[in-house]
Amino acid sequence: MERLEGNPLYGRVALGHAVSLIKGGGSIGQGKQALVALAGNEEVLPTDRAEARFLLALQAIGEEDELNYEKYRTELGEDQNASYFLVRLEELKRTKNLLAVAKSLPAVNADNGAKFLSEIKTKKGVTETESGLLYEALKEGTGEMPTAEDEVEVHYHGSLINGEVFDSSVDRGEPSKFRVGGVIKGWTEALQLMKVGAKWKLYIPSDLAYGERGNNSIGPNEVLIFEVELLGITPEEEPESLLTDVNQTVDPQGETNQTLVPVPAKMIEPTNVEVPKPLPKPERTEPVEENSTE
């Protein structure tokens, strides 16, 4: 590369050359050396030196080289001309960290959840079902057991294994109503094992809860803990009568607009109405069998 240190454009040319070497993939080492040389070159513009350090720090992030990342970040922090690059670098670093955490979170949660459940299984009074659901009866009920089609009224308090509460009807001070078959699998299974009046503590594996997708404040592969009290089964509503109230009349537009007053029997004048005589019944004939012979 032709040396142009005396030219103000040298810094830009050197930056472009270094970046092309790194992007090419085959000469990453040469590209980094070019950036290191540029970062220490006092003959180029201060902003070009700052950008070279910025690019070196970015390369260190990509290589997970914390030592060099801190080195170039510190140099940028000491350079009054590098405030933009420093802010941008720290933003990208946070994004990189967040992406790394997001990628690893499902595996971390699954591992922590498995360890937690294995410990809970050994706890006295805890029962495990075939699906892997764990429950502990805090209070036995004496009422009926709901089916998947029933609507139930419950109080519940939900938390993660770290103790963080994500939802609680108890805290809201108002029980919830829902169909047994319309909630997460762990709830549907547990409620059909409970009797009205029972209070259980559920330890729900992620595959019986929200799985890898999570839900709002619930992360991927999170084990959920619920204290659930089955308050009652909501009775089915009776179907509305198809008959109109005898004391109401409906106009052609369908609006009720008048109350009928029953007419006393003595106000009804008798009328001479001739009742038609019934028609005579036809004579019964037996079916004739075809092709009969005398």
Q: Is 166 a catalytic residue?
A: yes
pLDDT, the chain, mean? 79
**11 and 45 in contact (C-beta within 8 Å)?**
yes
Q: Mean pLDDT: which of 33-42, 162-171, 197-206, 230-239 is highest?
A: 197-206
Q: Is 184 a catalytic residue?
A: yes
Burial of 292 (0-12, 13-18, 19+ CB in 10 A): exposed
Give the start-to-end residue ranges of the domains of the chain: 10-101, 126-234
Active-site residue (options: 28, 161, 184, 207): 184
Active-site residue (options: 54, 85, 135, 226): 226
Euclidean distance between CA atoms 65 and 31, whole angstroms: 16
For 175-226, the DSSP string reads -EEEEGGGS-HHHHHHHTTPPTT-EEEEEE-GGGTTGGG-BTTBPTT--EEE
Threshold 0.75, pTM exceeds: no
Active-site residue (options: 156, 203, 218, 225): 156
Q: Is 72 a catalytic residue?
A: no
Query: Residue 245 corresponds to which amino acid?
Result: D
Active-site residue (options: 167, 204, 225, 233): 167
Euclidean distance between CA atoms 62 and 89, whole angstroms: 12
pLDDT one-digit tens code per residue, 230-285: 999 998 776 555 444 444 444 445 444 443 334 444 444 445 545 555 555 555 44
Collapsed DSSP state (helix, strand, coil) of residue 252: coil
Q: Is 135 a catalytic residue?
A: no
Residue 76 Cα distances to 54, 71, 165, 188, 192, angstroms: 7, 9, 42, 57, 63
Q: Is 203 a catalytic residue?
A: no
Say which range, 62-76, 119-133, 250-264, has the weakest mean pLDDT.
250-264
Collapsed DSSP state (helix, strand, coil) of residue 270: coil
Euclidean distance between CA atoms 178 and 154, whole angstroms: 9
Residues 161-173 as b or e (16 or more Cβ within 10 Å = b): beeeeebebeeee
Give the bridge partners for 204, in sequence order.
224
Euclidean distance between CA atoms 142 and 196, whole angstroms: 6
Among 3.90.120.10, 2.40.10.10, 3.90.1150.10, 3.10.50.40, what is the CATH number of 126-234?
A: 3.10.50.40
CA angle 227, 231, 236 (to 5 degrees): 130
User: Stretch 107-134: mean pLDDT, rounded?
Assistant: 95
**107 and 219 in contact (C-beta within 8 Å)?**
no
User: Stretch 18-40: mean pLDDT, rounded?
Assistant: 80
Euclidean distance between CA atoms 38 and 173, whole angstroms: 66
Active-site residue (options: 48, 135, 210, 225): 210
Q: What DSSP character marks residue 133?
A: -
Select the more confidently predicted residue: 9 or 202: 202
Say which range, 12-21, 82-91, 117-126, 281-290, has the weakest mean pLDDT.
281-290
Euclidean distance between CA atoms 187 and 228, whole angstroms: 9
Q: Is 54 a catalytic residue?
A: no
